[in-house]
Structure 1
Amino acid sequence: MTAVALAGLGLVSPLGPTPEAFWRGLLHGRRAFGRLGCPQGDFRSRVVAAVSPDDCPAPAGHRKEALATAATRQALAAAGLTGLPDGSLLVVVSQTPALRAVPDEQSGDFAGPHPEALFAACRTDARRTSVVHLSHACASAAFAAAFARDWLLSGLGTTALVAGASALNRYEYASMDVVKTLSPHGARPFDADRDGITVGEGAGAFVLETAPAARARGHRPTAWLSGAACLVDTSESVASAPAAVLDCMRAALDDAGARRVDYVHAHATGTVQGDAAEAEAVAELAGSLDRAPIPMSSHKGAIGHLLHASAFPGLVAAAGFLREGRLPGTPGLRHPAPLPDGVLALTRSRRTATAEHALVNSFGFGGNNASLVLSAVGGRPAKPYEEIP
């Protein structure tokens, strides 16, 4: 296993302004869906169960940068860093690069956050930092994690930051409306009555570090990013091909050298086709590993789909599972749809005796498929997330 340290996580979500707030809300089964109307200055992000594209705010650039910089500061603090070291890597995920220091009405909806805003949050000199922009549809943040891990393992540096944000806006909301994926009632992944996705907003960031660098400064990682696989399957226009999903998960586990998986944090957005395809793939994986049933759940029934930033809450959920041995449920899942043998969709949180490896799935339009393997550091952390009664 060639792993890098997941040194720190940051997340701003509709469940609250920190990773801990998201994790607590997820374990309690909270759904944050509501009406649009949160003040622009409030760092609590928003989820809207149903709204017309014309009612979404625009432009969204300033909102994205505010959310992303907040998440970046959290990730650095969790990593025990006051800023990025010289020679680090910054990976920004969004639909397109932010070409202007100040977002305008033409670019604000689908661009950014701007690297300059993140440099300020990192207290980092742009001249001494490598910057990469990645866009792989809704799998962007997971692709970025794999890219940053490869960059670190190649010896190009010791520290990498991945950051991104999704803010409700007319452009992205209309794109979901056009392909008829929006739920009029609110996403319910794996539910028999599921009828589509809910678009949410939020931001995430995480710091990756080589194992020697973490040891040298005495930092205990949140988890190990031990495996990753990114596969672009051009045979399907959407992320709903069971064979491609299975190939991606197997490749990630092989990369990690892991022969078991104790939890799958599913991409599951709440669409009938996508959820069924992922469940079929997980069930087949369970059969090949002789590990059945594999528990899985999704956060999208709690905070909606953060689009390009959707892998960030998935990583927080997987890290929480590894830290505390608690399997989060899927908020909104009331009547589980029939699933193949070998997979268990969790309706509520529960404890488990084994928490060694977790898979985080992230899929997107255009056949963009990514799976990440997080592995436990071992023992309880110095600063665990707040215990849930």
Structure 2
Amino acid sequence: MSDVVISGMGLLTPFGRGVGTYWRALTGGRTALAPARRFTSPVYRGEPVGEVTEFELGDAPRKQVFASAAAEDALLAARLPRVPDGALVILVGQAPPPADGSPLGAENREFLGPGADGILAGGDSLHLTHACASTLFAIAFAHEALRAGSAPAVVIAGATALNHYEYASMDVVRAVDRAACRPFDTGRGGISLGEGGGALVLETADRARARGLEPDIIVAGTGCRVAAGKSVASDETSIAECLREALDAARADRLDYVHAHATGTAQGDTAELHALEAVVGERAWDGVPVSSHKGAIGHMLHISGAPGVSAAAMALRTGVGPPTAGLRTPEEARRLRLPKTPLVIPGATFAAVNSFGFGGNNATVVLRRR
């Protein structure tokens, strides 16, 4: 069976458009978190957010524009002029737009969607939501669909736009930091929300090679858990189970980098670190670098797995582990490294990406560089 590969990645983040733009800012330790210039809400008090400001929006809903821009870039990177015939389009988001195509009301334009229109037209589509782990659940779904021969390619796309509903939902549970979030820092105080779009093209290595690509990032293993009865986003046992399952499926004999979910909450970051320590300890691995993008662009909710996967793929390609922006005093770690500056990773081969969401949604994807 041919490997399942990521042949195209697209991002629109508060740093701007493109995976390269994001990666340069991430490895440079920069942060885009700042008081909002456009976003307003009765519960918003001026906290730093990751806002997309330098991008032409037109009249379409922001989520649709963000997702379409990312999908366009992912298809371009995969050398595909459009979504291939028979391909599966997986849209990730809080909820789909109206099925009858009726216009979104003003109160829903920043909340519902995106939809499978515009450049995403042409494939069979479905909407998938597993809270903030949605993108990684979509990758696991795509992996199985491609291995089963159910589709020639899968395009995963989604977006988030700063909006009152989601901001209020995080504010009411006191998850929002009044300062810019600092994942893994001993002084962290919660999350910062961000917005943007992400997209991935997955297909078999044989199909990619047939049109002249030499794919180098393989989806080597996935692990997904819905921990029924556990409403928290980061349960230590479920995290460890996901990581073990994904590593075993990937037949990983090493782990060179982990791109963590780490949003900046005291409970969530600690649970993730404890789970990582346990799993790498079982396998006698030491010095595994771990970092998060949330201190740079904020938490992009359902599509946050796209910048996570992009960072892990670029770490494998460049042999550099990015720092966590804003990290000043790292939590204590025994077998892990929490870099404050870029870290060279010799011979980087395997990288893991974690995503966790409310409702007990937990997922890990392990990537391997060919």
Q: TM-score, normalised by structure 1?
A: 0.87
2:203 alignment counterpart: 209
- How far does residue 186 in structure 1 lie from its aligned partner after superposition? 1.1
Residue 331, structure 1, aligned to residue 332, structure 2: no
SS at match of 1:157: coil
> Does the Cα contact within 8 Å between 1:30 and 1:302 map onto a contact in 2?
yes
- How far does residue 265 in structure 1 lie from its aligned partner after superposition? 0.2
SS at match of 1:359: strand
Query: Can you list the C-alpha shifts for 1:152-187, whole angstroms capped at 9, x where unaligned?
Result: 111112111000001000011001001110000011
Size of the alignment, in residue pairs?
A: 353
In structure 2, give the amino acid aligned to 1:210.
T
Equivalent of 2:296 in 274, 291, 302:
302
Residue 121, structure 1, aligned to residue 114, structure 2: no
> Does the Cα contact within 8 Å between 1:8 and 1:222 map onto a contact in 2?
no
- How far does residue 314 in structure 1 lie from its aligned partner after superposition? 0.3
Residue 200, structure 1, aligned to residue 201, structure 2: no
- The separation in 2 between residues aligned to 1:38 and 1:348, in whole angstroms, is 31
**Structure 1 gap segments, 5+ residues each:** 40-47, 52-59, 378-389
Equivalent of 2:224 in 204, 219, 230:
230
> Does the Cα contact within 8 Å between 2:36 and 2:48 map onto a contact in 1?
no
Within 5 Å, which residues of 2 pair with 1:97-112? 97-99=96-98, 100=101, 102-112=103-113
Moved over 3 A (4+): 48-51
SS at match of 2:179: coil
- The separation in 2 between residues aligned to 1:65 and 1:279, in whole angstroms, is 35
- The separation in 1 between residues aligned to 2:253 and 2:128, in whole angstroms, is 30
- How far does residue 345 in structure 1 lie from its aligned partner after superposition? 1.2
1:66 alignment counterpart: 65
In structure 1, give the amino acid aligned to 2:340.
T
Query: Can you list the C-alpha shifts for 1:22-52, whole angstroms capped at 9, x where unaligned?
Result: 000000000101121259xxxxxxxx7348x
Equivalent of 2:181 in 164, 176, 187:
187
Identity of aligned residues (%): 45
- How far does residue 289 in structure 1 lie from its aligned partner after superposition? 1.5
> Does the Cα contact within 8 Å between 2:2 and 2:205 map onto a contact in 1?
no
1:86 alignment counterpart: 85
2:35 alignment counterpart: 35
- The separation in 2 between residues aligned to 1:347 and 1:179, in whole angstroms, is 29
1:322 alignment counterpart: 316
- The separation in 2 between residues aligned to 1:222 and 1:15, in whole angstroms, is 25
SS at match of 1:231: strand
Within 5 Å, which residues of 2 pair with 1:230-249? 230-249=224-243
- How far does residue 241 in structure 1 lie from its aligned partner after superposition? 1.7
- The separation in 2 between residues aligned to 1:35 and 1:240, in whole angstroms, is 27
Distance 1:15 1:376, change over 3 A: same
**Structure 2 gap segments, 5+ residues each:** 40-45, 50-58
Aligned-residue CA RMSD in angstroms?
1.7
Q: TM-score, normalised by structure 2?
A: 0.92
Residue 350, structure 1, aligned to residue 343, structure 2: yes
SS at match of 1:115: coil
